[in-house]
Chain A
Amino acid sequence: MALSREQMAQRVARELKDGYYVNLGIGIPTLVANYVPAGIQVMLQSENGLLGMGAFPHEDEVDADLINAGKQTVTSVPGASIFSSAESFAMIRGGHVDLTVLGAFEVDVEGNIASWMIPGKMVKGMGGAMDLVAGADNIIVTMTHASKDGESKLLSRCMLPLTGSGCIRKVLTDLAYLEIENGAFILRERAPGVSVAEIVEKTAGKLVVPEYVPEMAF
């Protein structure tokens, strides 16, 4: 069975380490905040200028002046700090964020990522995605392995305009967890009940399959 959005978030959350500063993108990455392992302390960075993002507010706490990068109302945790957009991206660009999780349309074996623009469709803009992928060492991309039409999103070369080049090393799809090394995807883990054969079939870029590929457990 392919992973649900929640299971994908749960799997990513296992990469969190105690003391991490983490930037979570919009969509599945946002859900990672719900699965921070017990006994681990992390601080969530929101690119609009908040370090120490908390849960969504209760009705009586809603404050128009406190939002996240997705423009949703949020709260701040005790010990949070708030700053300008320039300061926020100084943290991001300067490599101070320990883990960045974001979505994508495509990734390729060279670590390129395309996530912001589909030619011929309305271009909404890249927001902070280009800064995030350029500035972070540790990035996890979350996306479905293939499109609804069955087209692989793990390619030998991205076809869409790039968000960043040579910057992606880790990809979690609904079928597998993969790393990118030396011009290939390395299959590290597979979703429960998903065969290696299915992953091979749905991966267009070069795929290295180690002898033993463990199944994720939830």
Chain B
Amino acid sequence: MAGLDKRVNSYQEALAGLTDGMTVLAGGFGLCGIPENLINEIRRRGTRELTVVSNNCGIDHFGLGVLLEERQIRKMIASYVGENILFEQQLLSGELEVELTPQGTLAEKLRAGGAGIPAFYTATGYGTPVAEGKEVRSFNGRPHILEASITGDFAIVKGWKADHFGNVVYRHTAQNFNPMMASAGRITVVEVEEIVEPGELDPAQIHTPGIYVDRIIKGAFEKRIEKRTVSI
């Protein structure tokens, strides 16, 4: 790593500085576009007491599910966690804390966090358990609740291609939460399928500009499919 060259050579180096109790923002929707190797590296490091922010929590034995297995997550902020039996067990036993957040509010909390906006009002969740304890204010005659934004110590992100400077493009719907996670991490680590020379990516087609990215690593991905559904 030198100057604006964000490339690192090992997953160990990619997550250097990650310690117990930190907040980790993880991209992905279901198992689509998840930073699977970075998650496995967190498992290998044995970092504990993590707060993890991600739309979902993987499945048993894959994705963020592996960190549940090793009891490395203390708190999970997510919109939907239904695909995971371990999650339920740890929640009921009190080992794991969960903050369920509407999906759009979660995306906006991260977008705002990365954009330096500490909080915002939204109508989403007004009149529901999500609104409990939150400030309410009316705009145009409609009640809204105040939602605080989210930033993290580390963001772990899965891209398709990146150049040395950390400009990233995502592939299809594997984009999902990844750009917001990338912008909201104090240290943002992106693993990609391919690293290209600066200038190879069309500047107008970059999804995550390199300014948000601290480390880039090339990985090999299983890309497991959660619900393989085909037309016959």
Contact = CB atoms under 8 A, between A and B. Distances in A.
* 6 tightest Cβ-Cβ pairs between the two chains A and B: A89-B104, A165-B127, A124-B82, A131-B104, A125-B80, A64-B223
Given A64-B223, A128-B103, A134-B123, A89 B130 contact: no
Contacts of B177: 84-85
Interface of B: 29-33, 55, 78-82, 88, 100, 102-108, 110-111, 122-130, 160, 171-180, 207, 223-231
Contacts of A126: 79-80, 100, 102-103, 130
Between B78, B124, B180, the greatest number of chain A beta carbons within 10 A of the residue's beta carbon is seen for: B124
Contacts of B81: 124-125
A125 B227 CA distance: 19
What DSSP secondary structure best describes chain A's contact surface?
loop
B73 to A, nearest CB: 16
Contacts of B80: 124-127
B171 A65 contact: yes
A66 interface: yes
A131 B177 CA distance: 16
Contacts of A83: 175
Contacts of B227: 67, 70-73
A165 B123 CA distance: 10
A200 interface: no
A47 to B, nearest CB: 7
What DSSP secondary structure best describes chain B's contact surface?
loop
Contacts of A123: 100
Contacts of B180: 84-86
| Size bracket, chain A contacts | 35 or more
Given A71-B227, A128-B104, A65 B32 contact: yes
Given A67-B32, A89-B104, 17 more contacts: A64-B223, A65-B171, A65-B172, A73-B229, A84-B177, A86-B107, A88-B107, A89-B107, A93-B122, A93-B123, A117-B129, A124-B82, A125-B100, A130-B105, A134-B123, A162-B128, A164-B128
B162 to A, nearest CB: 16
B127 A166 contact: yes
A124 B82 CA distance: 4
A193 interface: no
27 contacts: A48-B173, A58-B231, A59-B230, A63-B172, A64-B32, A65-B223, A66-B172, A66-B173, A67-B30, A67-B32, A71-B32, A73-B225, A73-B230, A84-B177, A85-B107, A86-B107, A86-B108, A89-B107, A93-B123, A126-B79, A126-B100, A126-B103, A126-B130, A127-B102, A131-B124, A134-B123, A164-B126
Contacts of A73: 225, 227-230
Contacts of A67: 29-30, 32, 173, 225-227
A50 interface: yes
A35 to B, nearest CB: 16
B231 A82 contact: no
B169 to A, nearest CB: 11
A172 B231 CA distance: 28
Contact of A71 (B30, B103, B105, B130): B30
A163 interface: yes
B225 A85 contact: no
B82 A134 contact: no
A159 interface: no
A62 B176 contact: no
Between B32, B128, B174, the greatest number of chain A beta carbons within 10 A of the residue's beta carbon is seen for: B128
